[in-house]
Amino acid sequence: MPSLVEDAWINGQATTANVSDLEDCAIAVDATYYLQLCLDTPPSREPLLSALGGLTGLDYHIRQDLEQWNAHKITPFFIFDGQTVHGQDEVAALRGKAANKKTDEAWNLYAKGEAEQAVTAFGANSGAFRVQTLYPMLQSILQENKLHFLVAPYNASAQIAYLDMIDSDQCAGIMGSQELLLYPINDGVIRSFDWENKKVKAIFKKSLIRSLNVNDTTFTDALLMTGTSFLSTYPPLQDTSYVRRQPHTINDAVNMLRTADKSVAQSASAFSDVLQQQDPTWLDRYRRAKMAVLHFVYIAESGEVKVNDYEHLTNDNLQYMGLQLPAELYHYLNVGLIGGRVLSGITHLQIFITPTLDGTVSEEYKKLVTNQLVPIREQTLALLMPRLNRWISRQDVTLKV
């Protein structure tokens, strides 16, 4: 999927089963993954999304798809992303800029009169569109269909992993991106449904680990190295001097770890010149990302907001989890009274402005972001921060464009 970091080798290990095997079951679905899947695959694929800047038939196709879920007696339980994980905004900005460059290339093809090639180029770059903007539309459709959904405190993958870990009665299976493999899930992750042929495609964590001949820790490290929504790809993996066949796969990351005594730090030391030149802070961000995965935040079935493996939470958790907010705010987040971006601004003391869809930054847009919207953002924060921890209320929030 263009906007997600999806390892080709892992996708190639997927197996199929009959949809009927899931009859009368509920499936926890990562809403972000689902929306991107809709945008990237027929019949709901929107190849000109980044060109038109709007949607044509996605609403209709989602409704049609939900009818198929119902017809096959399977209930989707959608989980939406809440706040951003540490590093997620930065990665989104980098990928947004890269997507904008590809959009420019597509426009150049269009300007030359190469219409078919332009459509293909636009269609291969749906990652330029931020699917989180479609959350309200999907939530509205779910409410109309009386389908329950949940907004996670942070990323949906962590919340779904928790439900799978405890064998929750709320779901008999999980569906989402490869990031689910980072967490201690039971095994299988549903990737897609083929309603016409009545087949479901899934990948299995235990099978992947056996095929790679590694342990769970090395598998997690290798998957982080290939890149996630909150950690950029390990630079040496993208260097053709070290990995000739591009795009790289998790196999390449595993091979690098094997030559470094299965230590990411040792591998980073061996490639220090590459890191220093391309991404000097990568190792530090990797460590934060790994700790964020280990101590992920979720809403327990009791309704309490909890931290995984809380007993071993380090004293410097502020560095990888951000500020701790009152649990009450997560309830407001779940019911839609507060947006995830507002809470992210407080948690990380930073409001991040993502790149525009077309990559154009006009003077009017600059004025809007850096001047006209600032008082509104300040007012929003002023309503919340004085009612939080006194230390938090005295901190500056940085606007990063």
Structure tokens belonging to residue 15: 């197996």
Q: Do 168 and 64 share a structural domain?
A: yes
pLDDT given at position 221: 98
Which of 152, 186, 208 represents a domain boundary (last residue)?
208
Asked whether residue 319 is assigned to any structural domain, the reply reads no
330 and 351 both lie in a single domain: yes
Alpha carbon separation from 121 to 2, 94, 129, 247 (Å, rounded): 12, 19, 14, 18
Full residue range of the structural domain in which residue 135 is found: 8-208
Do the beta carbons of residue 189 and residue 181 sit within 8 Å? yes
The total domain count for the chain is 3
- Mark which of 145, 176, 208 sits at the end of a domain: 208
In a domain, 308, yes or no: no
pLDDT of 4: 60
**Could you say which of 208, 223, 253 is where a domain stops?**
208
Check whether residue 120 and residue 19 sit in a common domain: yes
Q: Is the same domain home to 27 and 139?
A: yes
pLDDT of residue 206: 97
Provide the pLDDT for residue 362: 79
Residue 306 maps to a domain = no
The DSSP H or E segment spanning 106 is helix 88-111
Q: Are 257 and 357 within one domain?
A: no
Q: Is residue 225 domain-shared with residue 190, that is, in the same domain?
A: no
Cα–Cα distances in angstroms (integers) from residue 1 to residues 6, 9, 130, 194, in the given order: 6, 13, 13, 17
Q: Is residue 301 part of a domain?
A: no
Retrieve residue 220's tokens. Answer: 């997690």
The answer to whether position 30 is within a domain reads yes
Low pLDDT (below 50) residues in the chain: 1-3
Q: Same domain, yes or no, for 285 and 384?
A: no
- Assess if residue 114 is contained within a domain: yes
C-alpha 131/C-alpha 127 separation (Å) is 8
CATH code for the domain in which residue 154 is found: 3.40.50.1010
Note the pLDDT tens digit of each residue in 85-134.
Answer: 999 999 988 888 888 788 888 888 888 888 888 888 877 766 667 889 89
Q: Is residue 300 part of a domain?
A: no
Shared-domain flag, residues 361 and 238? no
Given the DSSP bridges, would you call strands 188-194 and 15-18 parallel, antiparallel or unpaired?
A: unpaired
* Residues near 169 by beta carbon (within 8 Å), at least 6 away in sequence: none
Asked if 267 and 372 sit in the same domain, the reply is no
Amino acid 1: pLDDT: 39
Q: How far apart are the first and last CA of the chain?
A: 26
Based on the domain organization, do 148 and 264 belong to the same domain? no
One domain, residues 266 and 165: no
- Please tell me whether residues 134 and 71 are part of one structural domain: yes
Tell me what pLDDT residue 2 has: 40
Residue 359 domain-assigned (yes or no) = yes
